[in-house]
Chain A
């Protein structure tokens, strides 16, 4: 699923003040690419990420995902895209504490309206693919940081999306586990998933095919 962003602007209104977070952004990501978005905090990289993830809409400009203009879709359709085509991985894992690992992963499958039995099977497979088959019944507080992030990745891939969006996925992990998580992303990329990672960890950025740098809302491709 190709990402195609053209002259995109995003501004927030705060009272009378209008803040332009993204200015004239042009990015295209081809199927199967591994792209890192870097930049100092407050540069707008999270906003860009939210727009790519269909959690937010651009103020102006166009964002086409697999040729479809996102800004014209309603909430229901956007929820469907987030569910089926995009997998989110967050810095703070964002697992639901009252659910077990299996239930956390299952939830994303259930929102895709498959039968509970199918959802369970898919969740089990996704967790097994990440080596967590013996942690199915554990709650997040019974898991280590690396395990939590792997559950989160399992949740991101359970509906077999084509794009995985990760926001500082190693930010809460020590460097060894961070490397393991990075290997998972590389592996997923090899299996054909498009990966977009927001990070200021240069080691991760170095693993990407492309690095896109944002500064004060302006995007620059970093030549490698």
Chain B
């Protein structure tokens, strides 16, 4: 018999037992559905994180104190980050390093970060303040509601000026335009020169914090009144994407003039993204793998039903052999039945998975999903393989039936 006729024969048998065929497919449908859903969620998280990291600004390089090896992944761990000598007191990054970088080739902007804790007299609380350079405005893509960021002059003068976040403005000035008004930190007056626009907390700031509670001060002013002079981070913006590589070298060489050894780490934005993506890819693969187990269970369901079907249709197989079906005809027919079940189940599961992945964010806005095409292809191929693998045994059994025994069975 020609394959096309075998196919028609198989489809007919499956339609003859509609409910059973559907229930058998259900295993595959659920399996593919969960694979697609879980990988979409994983992929969605990955894209969200990527877009957030990218929203921090493009072409950025970060200098951290201590030696963190993220790019070369020393040691056995493939996903890990090796970190040495990051303890307190070993921080050797200073504001001189920032000054040394200013005006270098390929640098569009550079800022240091100094995180301090100050007493906010009006509210009688301690708040964390952030000392930055005026370049921070561009580097961190800040948006202002009122006023402007403090200037280079104000930084050089160690002026007591501040740019405050929306929440800080609300609590200090009831959300009104507070330009030119002052508030007291540690008993001293600070003049507000800028108020940031409200940002949804999910769009986090450069160090992952809520921008709305920020109080930005000129870094020079902060360092001047602190005992600890070392800064926590330097962020450098390259003039263009092509300049990132040479800039990394420039930064290293410039900083080494002030340091006896490489006790700092230069990270590219891409390095951080890679590290995050690595972890998330493993997570996604893990989720997909767990879902694949349900596919396997679905496959066993197919085999089970096919075996029942062979037993039930023993007489039919005998008749087919008597009127001239070869072993191959019978084998192909039963194999097509199981592959058909798994492929149709796979396609239905795919449709359910894709619509589920599209609908999920509207039910749970916090979850982002993105359908990964490789996952779709792998899932469908897997469904096909499941159909073949779990169909071969029942089909072989059917093909090998002795026609006389088969005809005799009731």
- Chain A positions near chain B (C-beta within 8 angstroms): 50, 53, 55-56, 75-76, 79-80, 82-84, 88, 90, 94-96, 98-99, 103, 107-108, 110-113, 116, 155, 159
Q: How close is A47's CB to chain B, nearest CB, in angstroms?
A: 8
Contact B324 A98 (CB under 8 A): no
Contact B321 A79 (CB under 8 A): yes
Is B326 an interface residue, CB under 8 A from the partner? yes
How big is chain B's contact interface, by range?
20 to 34
- Residues of A contacting B315 with CB < 8 Å? 94
- Residues of B contacting A79 with CB < 8 Å? 321, 324-327, 329
Contact A90 B407 (CB under 8 A): yes
- Residues of B contacting A82 with CB < 8 Å? 321-324
Find residues 1-26 in chain B having any chain A CB closer than 8 Å to their own CB.
1-2, 4-5, 9, 12-13, 16
How far, in angstroms, from A111 to B328 measured CA to CA in the complex?
11
Is B319 an interface residue, CB under 8 A from the partner? yes
> Assuming A110-B1, A111-B1, is B407 touching A76 (CB within 8 A)?
no
Most buried by B among A76, A84, A94: A94
Query: How many pairs, one residue from A and one from B, have CB atoms within 8 Å of each other in the complex?
Result: 67
Out of A98, A108, A112, which one reaches B13, CB within 8 Å? A98
Q: What are some 11 contacts across the A-B interface (CB < 8 A)?
A: A50-B404, A55-B322, A76-B328, A79-B327, A88-B322, A98-B13, A108-B324, A111-B324, A112-B324, A113-B1, A113-B2
> Assuming A110-B5, A111-B329, A116-B5, is B323 touching A55 (CB within 8 A)?
no
Contact B325 A56 (CB under 8 A): no
Contact A76 B323 (CB under 8 A): no
Chain A to chain B: the 5 pairs with minimum beta-carbon distance, closest first = A83-B324, A98-B16, A111-B324, A79-B326, A108-B323
How far, in angstroms, from A138 to B13 measured CA to CA in the complex?
17
How far, in angstroms, from A95 to B315 measured CA to CA in the complex?
10
Contact B12 A99 (CB under 8 A): yes
- Residues of B contacting A99 with CB < 8 Å? 12
- Residues of A contacting B5 with CB < 8 Å? 110, 116
Q: How close is A114's CB to chain B, nearest CB, in angstroms?
A: 9
Is B160 an interface residue, CB under 8 A from the partner? no
Q: A76-B326, A82-B323 are in contact. List 16 more A-B contacts (CB 8 A).
A: A56-B404, A75-B326, A75-B327, A79-B326, A80-B324, A82-B322, A82-B324, A83-B323, A88-B323, A94-B407, A99-B12, A107-B320, A107-B323, A110-B5, A111-B324, A116-B2
- Chain B positions near chain A (C-beta within 8 angstroms): 1-2, 4-5, 9, 12-13, 16, 315-316, 318-329, 403-404, 407
How far, in angstroms, from A118 to B403 measured CA to CA in the complex?
27
Contact B326 A96 (CB under 8 A): no
- Residues of A contacting B1 with CB < 8 Å? 110-111, 113
Contact B327 A84 (CB under 8 A): no
How far, in angstroms, from A190 to B4 measured CA to CA in the complex?
38
How far, in angstroms, from A211 to B11 measured CA to CA in the complex?
45
Q: How close is B398's CB to chain A, nearest CB, in angstroms?
A: 14
Q: How close is B401's CB to chain A, nearest CB, in angstroms?
A: 12
Q: How close is A63's CB to chain B, nearest CB, in angstroms?
A: 15
- Residues of B contacting A110 with CB < 8 Å? 1-2, 5
- Residues of B contacting A83 with CB < 8 Å? 323-324
